[in-house]
A and B are shown apart, each in its own frame.
Chain A
Amino acid sequence: MDLRIFGDPVLFDMGPVPVTETMVTSTAVTVALTGMAAFLGHTVRSRPQHWLSVVAYLVVESFDNLVEEIVGRRHTIVATLAGSLFLFIAGCNIAGQLPGVHPATGSLATTSALAVVVFLRVPIAGIRTNGVWGYVKHYFRPNPLLMPLHVLSELSRTLALAVRLFGNIMSGHLIVALLVALAGFLVPTPIMALDLLIGFLQAYIFAILSTVYIGAAISAGEE
């Protein structure tokens, strides 16, 4: 029975760096997504009328609209980040459905790294829009006494972002492993379909929440 919750087996060593299974899986997803993006970009440039180009337009347009609804105006950089997060997380979750592959997002290291990216992106976006003072000022609103609570909420929502994704994907994979061990074939199929839905939903929620956090930092100075 393949019950893996917190561990991450080391496959081989590359010099002083141990290469774990999660690193291999996430690198494979990254390479696949980059290749797909390069191919679609080439198709859009060479054959704009082709149906693949239309699919690419639709995907980019939907991310742009999502960011516009949340931030309040079109913002290409935030849309790029949200789209990359969504596609990477969804790609990792789908890759976890392949037999023998553990989803890279089912490891706390991957999800913490993604959450730290969002955590660092929030002040960068706020400072680029409002200036250093304009951004720092919102920590002291409505009262300077609340500054520790602002900082605490930024830290705790980063932790929540990481643990939510990790817990959902890891528990889905664990339930499928338990069902395979208990009941065998065909019984876990509906749960695996649910896992696929949850994978997309969690990727969507991660992208939405990071956009909401960055959008709040962008509009921090407009009060």
Chain B
Amino acid sequence: MTDQTIIAIVAMAGAALTMALGAMGAAIGESRIGAAAMDALARQPDEASSITRTLFVSLAMVESTAIFCLVIALILLFANPFTGTPGG
């Protein structure tokens, strides 16, 4: 097994692990946000517009951790600095 093969295997495993763990954390966080927003909507239907706006903003901010994981996984796969093929 050459060095390049080992690097490729480790990069793929690392990308898969990054995506799995990152998506898991973001999914748990987003489900909690959704549940809390539904609870707030049921208690105060008059505040629906304000709650919805805050809901979307917080969902996007939690989602961005999963997006960071995606970007890192894609860097590992397509623009890995150690494989000698820059730029993907």
Q: Flag whether A196 is at the interface (Cβ < 8 A).
A: no
Chain A interface secondary structure, helix, strand, loop or mixed? helix
Number of A positions contacting B (CB below 8 A): 19
- Taking CB atoms, residues of chain A closer than 8 Å to B6 are none
> Within 8 Å of chain B (Cβ to Cβ): is A87?
no
**Chain-A contact segment, one of B10-18, B38-46, B66-74:** B66-74
Does B57 lie within 8 Å of A208, measured CB to CB? yes
Find out whether the CB atom of B70 lies under 8 angstroms from the CB atom of A167: yes
| Any A CB within 8 A of the CB of B64 | yes
A168 to B70, CA, bound (A): 9
Within 8 Å CB of B82, what residues of A?
none
Bound-state CA distance A174–B75 (Å) is 14
Residues of A within 8 A of B53 (CB): 208
Query: Are A168 and B67 CB-contacts (below 8 A) given A5-B88, A6-B88?
Result: yes
Check B78 against A163 for contact (C-beta < 8 Å).
Answer: no
Q: Do B88 and A160 touch (CB < 8 A)? A: no
> B67 contacts A209, CB within 8 Å?
no
Chain B nearest Cβ from A121, distance in angstroms: 19
Interface: A7 (CB within 8 A): yes
Whether the Cβ atoms of B56 and A205 lie closer than 8 Å is yes
On whether the beta carbons of B60 and A167 are closer than 8 Å, the reply is no
Residues of B that sit less than 8 Å from A by CB: 53, 56-57, 60-61, 63-64, 67-68, 70-71, 74-75, 78-79, 87-88
6 pairs of A and B residues whose beta carbons are closest in the complex: A167-B67, A164-B64, A205-B60, A167-B71, A7-B87, A6-B79
